[in-house]
Amino acid sequence: MALDKPYLDIPGTTIFDAEQSRMGYHLNQFCVSLMKPENRERFRAYERAYLDEWPMTEAQKQAVLDRDLNRCIQLGGNIYFLARIGATDGKSFQQMAGSMTGMTEEEYRNMMLHGGRSVEGNRYLGEDGDAQPQHQPQGSAGKQGKAGKK
Amino acid sequence: MANITASVYTSHVPAIGVAIDQGRTQEPYWQPLFQGYEFSRMWMQDNTPDVIFLVYNDHATAFSLDIIPTFAIGCAAEFKPADEGWGPRPVPVVKGHPQLAAHIAQSVIQQDFDLTIVNRMEVDHGLTVPLSLMCGQPQQWPCAVIPFAVNVVQYPVPSGRRCFELGRAIRRAIESFDLPLKVQIWGTGGMSHQLQGARAGLINKEFDNLFLDKLIADPEAAAMIPHIDYVREAGSEGIELVMWLIARGAMSDVKSGSDVVGGQPPKVVHRFYHVPASNTAVGHLILENK
């Protein structure tokens, strides 16, 4: 019988369950290694070589090199682990979270200052909230994209 | 006999720790938040316990994906602040209470909760930020602390119901300890927040405040909230709120064992809610046992 996964219909959200964790084991353990200052230095000096020491998939390595956190999460990464990459880059949690929405840092910070993202329209896939797939990327990046298509 | 005098609930956002450590608490962004904890720091000075039983979650710091314990109790004599990638926080080493921790471990396991016993562990912002919020910046923390780490990182995390039952078991364990210690139990994490994906930045004030109401007045009902409601309504990281139910389940109004009726409802001495701290809604309660 299939496992109960009632959380697959939430937009813009990947639940880090046992299956994701299995897929992301080496990616996340690479992130853990960045808790040591000497490893952070080695990674900063030559990222590709450091990544090649880990049995990660090529797609996972590329997502790290691109700092594409959404892709990292899709490939089994978890934000608390991925935060070690952000820390190595001198980024805050807010900068990291914001980067996944397509908004600029200022846009995301302003959204938080104004009470954060509303849950309305963002509970289930198929609604019309700002986190839905049809509204990505968010912020000025999304507006530019739409203008470009016209 | 040891007893639980009060429970404290608070979010544990890492940026709050950074603001304290860098002396930025009076900046316009942070001032309203820290104002909400001024009462709490005075209350803490007037009501310093002998031991804090501090329920928190480790954020991929002490526990990587190599070992993922659902419930882990820190039984060591001390716990050093961890380097989470930005360098360790400049806060005192946390002193444990190995004697009480070992007693609780034995009692709670005998009550059918399979705790992982940890004799060496570093502690991250999940534990040190609540201490900073409640105690300020002392040279030493004012009392012993027993860290109790709950897995809320890898799904499935323990249910609210199980956390609430665990709180009951912890209370029975503490009340069966022979030394006359005053113990506070803290539940930390939450409130609504999501740190990932296109839905990052989600805040749900209505859910949060209803949760606070329910936690105070009808904790049995709060304990029945299923995982999916936290995730959908309060964001993927809002699931941390199950940890608050451990502290609430340990309060004396909750029926426990031979105590069929339960005691008086706790006194709400402080309630505070603020948005935002970085990506997160901050909630805070102090409940005293009558």
Pairs of CB atoms within 8 A across A/B: 165
Q: Where are chain A's structural domains?
A: 16-91, 92-121+135-139+143-147
* B260 band by pLDDT with thresholds 50, 70 and 90: low
Measured between beta carbons, the chain A residues lying within 8 angstroms of B197 are: 12-14, 70, 73, 100, 131
Measured between beta carbons, the chain B residues lying within 8 angstroms of A91 are: none
Q: Do A17 and B155 make contact, defined as CB atoms within 8 angstroms?
A: yes
Measured between beta carbons, the chain A residues lying within 8 angstroms of B125 are: none
| Ranges of H-type helices in chain A | 18-23, 25-33, 37-45, 47-52, 58-65, 69-74, 79-88, 93-99, 105-113, 140-149
Q: Which of B213-217's residues contact partners 24+ apart within 8 Å by CB, and which partners?
A: B215/B9, B215/B244, B215/B245, B215/B248, B215/B285, B216/B265, B216/B266, B216/B268, B216/B271, B216/B285, B216/B287, B217/B265
**Tens digits of per-residue pLDDT, A3-41?**
889 999 999 999 999 999 999 999 999 999 999 999 999
Nearest to A35 among B66, B84, B201 (CB): B84
- The CATH homologous superfamily of the domain defined by B3-288: LigB-like (3.40.830.10)
As a whole number of angstroms, the distance between CA A99 and CA B94 comes to 34
Q: Do B15 and A7 make contact, defined as CB atoms within 8 angstroms?
A: no
Min Cα distance B258 → chain A (Å) is: 36
pLDDT at A136: 95
User: What is the pLDDT averaged over residues A127-143?
Assistant: 94
How many residues are given for chain B?
A: 290
Lowest mean pLDDT among B2-6, B90-94, B199-203, B262-266: B262-266
Min Cα distance B262 → chain A (Å) is: 35
User: What is the pLDDT averaged over residues B102-106?
Assistant: 98
**Tens digits of per-residue pLDDT, B261-289?**
678 999 999 999 999 999 999 999 999 99
Q: B254 pLDDT exceeds 50?
A: yes
**Tens digits of per-residue pLDDT, B162-199?**
999 999 999 999 999 999 999 999 999 999 999 999 99
Cis peptide before B191 (omega within 30 of 0): yes
Q: Which of B173, B165, B123, B118 is nearest to B14 (CA)?
A: B123
Nearest to B197 among A12, A86, A93 (CB): A12
Please provide residue A139's backbone torsions phi and psi, each rounded to the nearest 5 degrees.
75, -160
**Tens digits of per-residue pLDDT, A45-99?**
999 999 999 999 999 999 999 999 999 999 999 999 999 999 999 998 899 999 9
As a whole number of angstroms, the distance between CA B84 and CA B123 comes to 10
Question: Mutation test of the interface with chain A: which of B11, B195, B233, choosing the one with the most A Cβ atoms within 10 A?
Answer: B195
Measured between beta carbons, the chain B residues lying within 8 angstroms of A33 are: none
Q: Do B85 and A69 make contact, defined as CB atoms within 8 angstroms?
A: no
Q: Do A101 and B15 make contact, defined as CB atoms within 8 angstroms?
A: no
Q: A148 pLDDT exceeds 50?
A: no
**Tens digits of per-residue pLDDT, A111-134?**
999 999 999 999 999 999 999 999
* B258 band by pLDDT with thresholds 50, 70 and 90: low
Percent of chain A with pLDDT over 70: 95
- The CATH homologous superfamily of the domain defined by A16-91: Dioxygenase LigAB, LigA subunit (1.10.700.10)
Question: Mutation test of the interface with chain A: which of B61, B65, B233, B240, choosing the one with the most A Cβ atoms within 10 A?
Answer: B65
Nearest to B60 among A17, A32, A108 (CB): A32
Q: Which residue in chain A is spatially nearest to B282 when comparing CA positions?
A: A115
* DSSP output for B138-197: -SS-SSEEEEEEE--SSSSPPPHHHHHHHHHHHHHHHHT-SS--EEEEEEE--SS---SS
Min Cα distance B47 → chain A (Å) is: 33
Question: Mutation test of the interface with chain B: which of A16, A80, A96, A108, choosing the one with the most B Cβ atoms within 10 A?
Answer: A80
Q: Which residue has the tokens 């989470």?
A: B84
Min Cα distance B102 → chain A (Å) is: 29
CA distances from B169 to A19, B25, B181, B247 (A): 32, 38, 17, 11
Nearest to A10 among B59, B201, B231 (CB): B231
